[in-house]
Structure 1
Amino acid sequence: MKVLISGGGVAGLTLAYWLRRRGVEAVIVERAAHGRLGGYGIDFFGTGYDVAGRMGIVDRLAPHRLPVDSIDFVDAAGRVGARLTTPLLDKIIQGPHLALMHTTLEGALLDAVEGEVEIRFGETVTAVRDTGSAVEADFAGGGTQRFDLMVGADGIHSRTRELVFGPEPEFARYLGCRLACFPVADRYGWGRARVHCTEPGRQVVVYPTGRAGELIALFLFRSSRTGNVPRDERPGLLRSTFGGMGWLTPSLLAEAPADEPIFMDTMTQIVMPAWHRGRVALVGDACGCMTMVSAQGVSMAMAGAYVLAEELATRGDHRLAFAHYQERMRAEVSRRQRNAQMFTRSLVPGTRPGLVAQSLAQRLVMREAFAPVLRRRFGADSILPPQTSQPVKE
């Protein structure tokens, strides 16, 4: 069996690794020239950590954890109103966890498949035809190739989903917020903290990347505007939205890159009635994006890839494999999407009274007594059954 994977990010690389381990040939096409660029931090625990452990890459990831010992919530003057410390976070998660840069994880996954999986960088699929017995894919670089199956692992704005299932608006659930981020120089003598400053309708987050002298500035803001913002309009939109905000905001805005595009996107979930059609399936954000506020997007993308590879390798029929994969994953994804929906409503309050209520709630729950409540909110446990020894095809 030969499987085409569209997308060389976390989900696609994880899927290719496990397919290869189970004796299935995979080919990845990735539109970026040398792998994706993800200049933001992720919380890595639960199922994703479990899958990484089974891949043997945790030891590579651990030395690159972000140097963050606390999550601080400050006001416009920089005064700390609430703090989530590492010991409290340990009690909430109750298991191994890492804070990482997205590129650190993708780099480890790339190394794990190097020499084992064909990856065609700078390539995209332009057309897909399911003949019933195979999938024919046309490529932007020219040519057509047949595969037994195809999997779209190409993210929230999945081209595979558009070609096979329909346009994005049919499946998009916009949560009313946008986010943007870019790296800035550490001119502040930053410590080992991730710091959030919130005003009505907008929030700024700053944290160290682990690289000497570098921080990430993340901007969240309420917006009724959906769809893409052209790259040349993004700096102006940030300046107009965050103008007059306190704390470090003016300095951070002044460091917005002029010669490189600013990453900006909507807080949007993907909700679909079916994750597969014929010989084509979707995995990760392409079918079940939860948004960054879930703190589970990367972990569940790796979970979906692991489960899909397992089903394809053990079921004799791809239709059964796709159906069982969706059945195993959908409830877990839906639950995390609901949690993210609820949390987003209070993440960036739109009014001053809402902000006051948020501050009071933060002071209340950042205590050991509320660890079980926060634990239920984040859903940190691995969804995979304990691993048992099984033959692996090489």
Structure 2
Amino acid sequence: MRVLVSGGGVAGLTCAYWLDQAGHTPVVVERGQAGPLGGYGIDFSGTGYDIAQRMGILGRLAERPLRSDSIAYVDASGRVVGRLDRPLAEKVLRGPYLALMHTTLEAVLADAVRDRVEVRHRQSIAEVEQDNGVLVTFADGTQEEFDVLVGADGVHSRTRELAFGAESQWARHLGLTMACYPVPDIAGLTDVRTHFAEPGRQTVLYPTDNVGTSIALFLYRDSAPHHVARAERAARLRTIYTGSRWHTPELLAHAPDDDLFMDTLTQIEMPRWHVGRVALIGDACGALTLASAQGASLAMAGGYLLAEALAKHLHDHAAAFAAYEARLRPVVTRRQRRTRSLARSLVPATHAGHEFQRAIARLILRENCASLLRRGFGNTSTILPTTPVR
């Protein structure tokens, strides 16, 4: 089966790898240039960790962990008011995990398909026509036919728009916006992920896997989220964080004028993930947002399980799509629900709410509260088949 995978991120590359393993011929198109796409950190565990192990790439991932060994919550003076260290994190997650840059995972996945899968960069789909196959018109005007099309092109999926309709039908905004960019390391904060919260906004700083570079991440309440033009993002961020304390002014001074990632925290909820010969995976159909800490893991699960279903139902794409969705949808729905609940308390709007959050952090970031923490962050892997796709 010839399969077009639209999107060369975590979900798309994972899907392409396992499609190739199953004997299909995947082709990946990615509108960005060659190289990793997402410049932020992720907590990698559970299903994604298991899939990486089956791919034989865990060793390469483990070579490039973030330089942080704990998560600290601080006040304006830098005093630690709560801490989550690695042993407690592993107990909460019920297993091992890696703290990685998203770019690291993408780069290792790209290497895993190199020389086996055709990946076309700076290419995207413009039109889709379905009949006995999928006729795809690309952005450069060329046309090709495929047996099926897999949309793995993220929360703002062009594939979803073409096959299912406008994003507004499926988007659920969580009332938060985030922005992030690289900054120089700050002395004393090179081995910990640090969170500083104020009413309505939060600043996070964590070291990358490269000495000398950290990531500044900003998360703030936004009751009327809208797209902010790239040239206006740095100014908007500085306005939102006017008067902020801790190291926030220093971090804002490094905000780039032309390369600042900013987006709303938006979940995608759809009544079905496939139509005709088109199926969606990852954020394109079940975006969790970064508040879940499981987006990359479930993106890999989507790619893996769709490839498994297409291998099992070799000549029946409809049965394959239905089997994939039946396997994964309950997990995604449950995780989205948990994430919405968490997001409501992630950035308290009032001073009283902020003080309550600090008090709770002091109380529950302890080993005897692991089961309580697991309700929000646990990620046991129960959705994989017992043997790898072959």
TM-score by length of 1: 0.97
Matched residue, 1:275: 273
Partner SS for 2:63: helix
Matched residue, 2:329: 330
Deviation track 1:152-184 (CA, whole Å, cap 9, x = no partner) reads: 000000000001100001000000000000000
Q: Return the alpha-carbon distance in structure 1 between the equivalents of residues 303 and 381 of structure 2.
A: 14
Contact kept in structure 1, 2:94 and 2:378, CA below 8 Å? no
Deviation track 1:290-349 (CA, whole Å, cap 9, x = no partner) reads: 000101110001001111000001113111110111110111001110111000011000
- State the shift of 1:67 in Å: 1.4
Contact kept in structure 2, 1:8 and 1:36, CA below 8 Å? no
Partner SS for 1:376: helix
Unaligned 5+ residue runs, structure 1? none
- State the shift of 1:248 in Å: 0.3
Distance change in 2, residues 1:171/1:47 (3 Å): same
Residue type at the aligned position of 1:26: P
Distance change in 2, residues 1:111/1:244 (3 Å): same
Q: Return the alpha-carbon distance in structure 1 between the equivalents of residues 352 and 375 of structure 2.
A: 27
TM-score by length of 2: 0.98
Deviation track 1:267-299 (CA, whole Å, cap 9, x = no partner) reads: 000000010000000000000000001011100
Contact kept in structure 2, 1:9 and 1:35, CA below 8 Å? no
Q: Return the alpha-carbon distance in structure 1 between the equivalents of residues 190 and 251 of structure 2.
A: 16
Residue type at the aligned position of 1:61: L
Matched residue, 1:117: 117
Q: Return the alpha-carbon distance in structure 1 between the equivalents of residues 384 and 76 of structure 2.
A: 46
Residue type at the aligned position of 1:107: A
Partner SS for 1:370: helix
Q: Return the alpha-carbon distance in structure 2 between the equivalents of residues 142 and 33 of structure 1.
A: 19
Q: Return the alpha-carbon distance in structure 2 between the equivalents of residues 60 and 82 of structure 1.
A: 32
Distance change in 2, residues 1:389/1:136 (3 Å): closer
- State the shift of 1:35 in Å: 3.6
Residue type at the aligned position of 1:31: R
Matched residue, 1:290: 288
Q: Return the alpha-carbon distance in structure 1 between the equivalents of residues 7 and 358 of structure 2.
A: 40
- State the shift of 1:89 in Å: 1.0
Contact kept in structure 1, 2:36 and 2:104, CA below 8 Å? no
- State the shift of 1:141 in Å: 1.8
RMSD: 1.1
Q: Return the alpha-carbon distance in structure 2 between the equivalents of residues 137 and 345 of structure 1.
A: 41
Matched residue, 2:10: 10
Matched residue, 2:309: 311
Matched residue, 1:151: 150
Partner SS for 2:67: coil
Q: Where in structure 1 do 4 or more consecutive aligned residues deviate above 4 Å? A: none
Distance change in 2, residues 1:163/1:356 (3 Å): same
- State the shift of 1:77 in Å: 1.4
Deviation track 1:119-138 (CA, whole Å, cap 9, x = no partner) reads: 1100010000111x100000
- State the shift of 1:389 in Å: 6.9
Contact kept in structure 2, 1:8 and 1:35, CA below 8 Å? no
Matched residue, 1:263: 261
- State the shift of 1:261 in Å: 1.6
Deviates more, 1:84-93 or 1:246-255: 84-93
Q: Is 2:90 the counterpart of 1:90?
A: yes
The equivalences for 1:167-186 within 5 A come to 167-186=166-185
- State the shift of 1:225 in Å: 2.6
The equivalences for 1:25-174 within 5 A come to 25-131=25-131, 133-174=132-173
Q: Return the alpha-carbon distance in structure 1 between the equivalents of residues 329 and 186 of structure 2.
A: 45
Matched residue, 1:249: 248
Deviation track 1:63-121 (CA, whole Å, cap 9, x = no partner) reads: 11111111110111111111111121121122120000001000000000001000110
Deviation track 1:216-242 (CA, whole Å, cap 9, x = no partner) reads: 000000012323110011011111000
Q: Return the alpha-carbon distance in structure 2 between the equivalents of residues 370 and 137 of structure 1.
A: 52
Partner SS for 1:356: helix
Aligned residue pairs: how many? 389
Deviation track 1:36-62 (CA, whole Å, cap 9, x = no partner) reads: 421100000000000000000000000
Residue type at the aligned position of 2:164: F
- State the shift of 1:385 in Å: 4.2
Contact kept in structure 1, 2:36 and 2:107, CA below 8 Å? no
Unaligned 5+ residue runs, structure 2? none
Partner SS for 1:64: coil
User: Equivalent pairs: percent with the same residue?
Assistant: 55
Contact kept in structure 2, 1:35 and 1:121, CA below 8 Å? no
